[in-house]
Amino acid sequence: MKQLIALAALLLFAIFPGPPLQASTRTDSLSIKIGQMLMIGFRGMTVADAPEIVGDIRSRHIGGVVLFDYDVPLKSPTRNIANREQLSKLTTGLQELSEIPLFIAIDQEGGKVNRLKASKGFPASVSAAYLGMLDNPDSTSSAARKTAATMKSMCINMNLAPVLDLNVNPDNPVIGRLGRSYSADPAIVARHAMLTAAAFREEGIIPVFKHFPGHGSSKTDTHKDFTDVTGSWSEKELEPYRVMTEAGYDDAVMTAHVFNRKLDSRFPATLSKKVLDDRLRQKLGFGGVILSDDMQMQAIAAHYELDEAIRLAVEAGVDILLFGNNTAYDPDIAEKATSILHRLVKEGTISKTRIDRSYHRIMKLKERFIYYCK
């Protein structure tokens, strides 16, 4: 195992030429810095179909978008992805709108969590559970390379994957039942996640490890309501993240909205300084970008007002606030979020220094990865 992880780490942290962002020398306005902290979902198959996201990119300087193939609130297969030609035009059109290259993200885990479906002309994919059962490094690397090459050809530069959750509860409605976990064994999860991330990086795709500090033991779905893992979670669920950080990984990690009294008796992980700053940053040593899971999921939205949720998440250490607009749909969510962040800074609740820290992490990640796709 150590040899495989060492090989994966060697591939994972190869140097990629970055675009001319020059993050260390930019002196951007507070509006740009705040905008870069937002990733927004939207409706529309073309740029012309999506005036709200055009305004968010041009006027609010949002740092990223997230794409879906299905609109959950409308129960409609019409969202952002129809076929290869349409998707390529959409992503290139979005990038052309932005002064700073966008993160363009999807959840392309494989298997059931699969935005680029074979029915729409994309290569078929397999689940993490299938790859973990095979436990064959070549199979995992091959599957990840195919996914990454497909994404690159569509000018998508961030995959909200691989999943580091352990399959400790096979009946978990949002992890185990969907085949999203490689294994209940943290060594197998770490091995295949590292190989997957290495293959993504070879194609210039940003991997995002998720869901910290572990969603695999849950009995309920954070999309739908409050999810308490206090009685089921264990420290071994942190093991894949320990392997990740010891190998030097510093790209991106996504939070879980799970509540775990063992780690924080007040707040779910996304809103918890004890989980994100104390555990992930200080104890595990992660220095990269922290993305929230979708802030509109009911585990957060049903229990916290928007301004409180944003304040707590940023205070906890979140760098990018993700609003997928696919649990609930709010075309004004980016405007609301930027207004809240500006107000929190003006009041002194959140310091400009805190905004700067997130901005520099985001820009460093963009500098390493994002290229202009034609």
Catalytic residues: 223, 293
Per the structure block, which two tokens stand in for 359? Answer: 């901005």
Q: What is the 3-state secondary structure (H, E, C) of 7-31?
A: HHHHHHCCCCCCCCCCHHHCCCCHH
What is the CA angle 90-95-100, rounded to 5? 160
Cα separations in angstroms, 260 against 3, 178, 269, 329: 34, 22, 7, 28
Q: Which residues contact 23 (CB under 8 A, 6 or more apart)?
A: 360, 363, 364, 366, 367
Give the integer Cα–Cα distance in Å for 286 and 283: 8
Q: Which residues contact 342 (CB under 8 A, 6 or more apart)?
A: 30, 31, 34
Per the structure block, which two tokens stand in for 29? Answer: 């306005």
Q: Which residues contact 55 (CB under 8 A, 6 or more apart)?
A: none
Cα separations in angstroms, 97 against 57, 89, 101, 319: 7, 13, 9, 23
